[in-house]
Amino acid sequence: MFLSFRFKSKRFIIVAFCVLSVIFFAPLFVSASNNSSAKIVYLTFDDGPSYVTPRLLDILSKNGVKATFFVTGQYEEYFPVLKQIYDDGHLIALHSYTHNFSEIYSDTEAFWDDIGRLDQLIYEQTGTYAEKIIRFPGGSSNTVSSRQVMKELITQCAEKEYSYIDWTIDVRDSVGGAKSPEYIVKKALDQIDEVSVAVILMHDGPGQKTAPEAADALIKALKEKGYVFDTLDNLTEEVHHSIP
């Protein structure tokens, strides 16, 4: 009788401990994607891969952050980096194979031929096709394509079951040469409190040699502000520019 009572008491203590553990510690293990109150930021990098990208991937890995790469086929020497982006768990999305605005925006057929060529390159390097997410070169509000071509492309995106995603924060790192990490961080932080969805446009082309250092500093600053990071396949709100 005494032994039975001791056994039941121990079992009660164990059960009670488990219940209390769930109550007090479970919130610590809720992922950002399941936490509607989390402040989420989406880092996106356009125009690579280039010689900049491997260093950038090292920075992202060191900080435990996943990003979205809108890739191109501009730099054949760095095609194998697509595999590293994929293997590191980042999201590969579609930007343009040639990134030649006058060619890809000459008509809708030229645009989709370019995207198809890029997707085939991604498949050859990674063994899988890209996520069906596009960022139009220059954004959907670019001033190079005709408005009619852009409107048709947007309609065709829906028909072909592609999403197109612009950005809400532009750090202006592709304008006028390489910018300092301090410049890029300030540009991002100056805008982030003004937007409801934080999709940051950065670049990892050969002209953005400071991108890795800038990303490192920006990630640290955003973490201090309570942000967590995610990739655009988990974006729940549309981020589209208005067509002029």
Average pLDDT value for residue range 123-134: 98
> What band does 35 get if pLDDT is binned at 50, 70 and 90?
very low
- Is the pLDDT confidence value at 25 over 70? no
Question: Does 31 map to a domain?
Answer: no
Model confidence, pTM: 0.85
- Is the pLDDT confidence value at 53 over 60? yes
Of the two residues 161 and 178, the one the predictor is more confident about is: 161
Q: Strand, coil or helix: what is 69?
A: strand
Contact 238, 208 (CB under 8 A): no
Domain of 120 in residue numbering reads as 37-234
Q: What does the alpha-carbon distance between residue 142 and residue 38 come to, in Å, rounded to a whole number?
A: 32
Average pLDDT value for residue range 102-127: 98
Average pLDDT value for residue range 32-40: 63
Question: Does 29 map to a domain?
Answer: no
> What band does 178 get if pLDDT is binned at 50, 70 and 90?
confident
CATH code (residue 117): 3.20.20.370
Average pLDDT value for residue range 186-202: 97
CA angle 169, 166, 190 (to 5 degrees): 5
Residue 196 neighbours by CB distance under 10 Å? 7
The size of the chain, in residues, is 244
Question: Does 217 map to a domain?
Answer: yes
Q: What is the pLDDT of residues 150-159, one digit of tens each?
A: 999 999 999 9
β-strands 227-229, 198-203 pairing = unpaired
